């Protein structure tokens, strides 16, 4: 095993460069990495201090999304193992498009034109979380359904925050699962329904962490609920996504791409 200190340096939140670093490093499973994000490196003084800190850290790798060449300079001069997102990619894009970049930090986040729409979507998802306000389901872009703890709430909020989708979620309770059809409040919105499921073992582990040694968390209960839910999904020909081995980011991306 090789141990590395991986620094993600950004002039804004660092979300983008951190995602790039994690994606790339996941392709090297033999590496042991500690991830350190340095956001808001937006002045020469901060850049110099960050470069000095990294230079004094053993086994350091640096992923950077700094847009201002003046902020990049201290990292180049410090002779670091530097992987600069813009310097690696932007020249190829410039050559293809036949035009130069106009550097400006933080364009991918913050007060973007769709900011208000995304915040409205988040509020909508919170107000329709866990079956709340079912009379407003007609206003939803998507309605996530499934038994308790299959990932409905985090997926709904991620879709709202990242993509501005108004996503409701509706839990299928044991009472719902005892019937031969989905609740009437869902049947009128079938085209918007997206079903989430999970392996019984994974679901039991999640429930066990929240309610240890309860009937709710038992493997038998999880198997029964999942089987009943999947029968309803099949009956209504719903799109079904198994979230057992997925991150919330992957769940959201797959839900968004479903027709």
What is the distance of C-alpha 41 from the center of its chain? Answer: 24
3-class SS of residue 83: strand
CA distances from 233 to 162, 181, 188, 196, 240 (A): 27, 9, 15, 9, 7
- Which are the contacts of 187, defined by CB distance < 8 A and separation ≥ 6? 181, 236
Residues of the chain with pLDDT > 70: what percent? 95
At residue 90, the pLDDT reads 85
- Which are the contacts of 106, defined by CB distance < 8 A and separation ≥ 6? 11, 12, 13
Closest CA to 149 of 231, 221, 249, 237: 221
Which tokens hold the place of 182? 């989905």
Per-chain mean pLDDT for the chain? 92
pLDDT tens-digit profile of 132-154?
999 999 999 999 999 999 999 99
Which residues partner with 241 through β-bridges? 196
Question: For the whole model, what pTM was predicted?
Answer: 0.72
The number of beta carbons lying within 10 Å of the beta carbon of residue 30 is 6
The number of beta carbons lying within 10 Å of the beta carbon of residue 115 is 12
What is the distance of C-alpha 217 from the center of its chain? Answer: 26
At residue 92, the pLDDT reads 87
What is the distance of C-alpha 27 from the center of its chain? Answer: 19
Instruction: Delineate the domains of the chain, giving CATH numbers in brackets.
Output: 2-97 (3.40.50.10550), 115-257 (3.40.50)
At residue 15, the pLDDT reads 85
pLDDT at 124 over 80: yes
pLDDT tens-digit profile of 89-102?
888 898 999 998 77
């Amino acid at each position: 095993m090789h141990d590395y200190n991986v620094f993600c340096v950004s002039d804004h939140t660092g979300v983008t460069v951190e995602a790039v670093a994690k994606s790339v490093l996941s392709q090297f499973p033999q590496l042991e990495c500690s991830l350190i994000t340095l956001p808001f490196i937006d002045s020469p003084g901060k850049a110099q201090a960050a470069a000095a800190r990294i230079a004094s850290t053993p086994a350091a790798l640096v992923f950077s999304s700094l847009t201002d060449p003046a902020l990049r300079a201290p990292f180049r001069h410090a002779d670091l193992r530097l992987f600069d997102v813009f310097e690696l990619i932007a020249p190829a894009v410039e050559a293809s498009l036949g035009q130069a970049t106009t550097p400006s930090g933080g364009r991918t986040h913050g007060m973007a034109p769709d900011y208000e729409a995304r915040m409205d979507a988040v509020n909508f998802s919170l107000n329709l979380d866990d079956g709340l306000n079912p009379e407003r389901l007609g206003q939803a872009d998507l309605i996530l359904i499934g038994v308790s703890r299959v990932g409905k709430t985090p997926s709904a909020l991620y879709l709202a925050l990242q993509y501005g989708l108004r996503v409701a979620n509706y839990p299928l309770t044991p009472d719902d699962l005892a019937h031969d059809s989905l609740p009437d409040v869902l049947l009128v919105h079938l085209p918007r329904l997206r079903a989430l499921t999970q392996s019984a073992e994974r679901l039991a582990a999640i429930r066990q962490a929240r309610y240890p040694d309860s009937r709710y968390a038992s493997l038998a209960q999880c198997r029964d609920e999942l089987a009943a839910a999947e029968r309803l999904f099949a009956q209504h020909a719903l799109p079904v996504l198994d979230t057992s081995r997925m991150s919330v980011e992957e769940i959201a991306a797959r839900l968004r791409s479903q027709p």
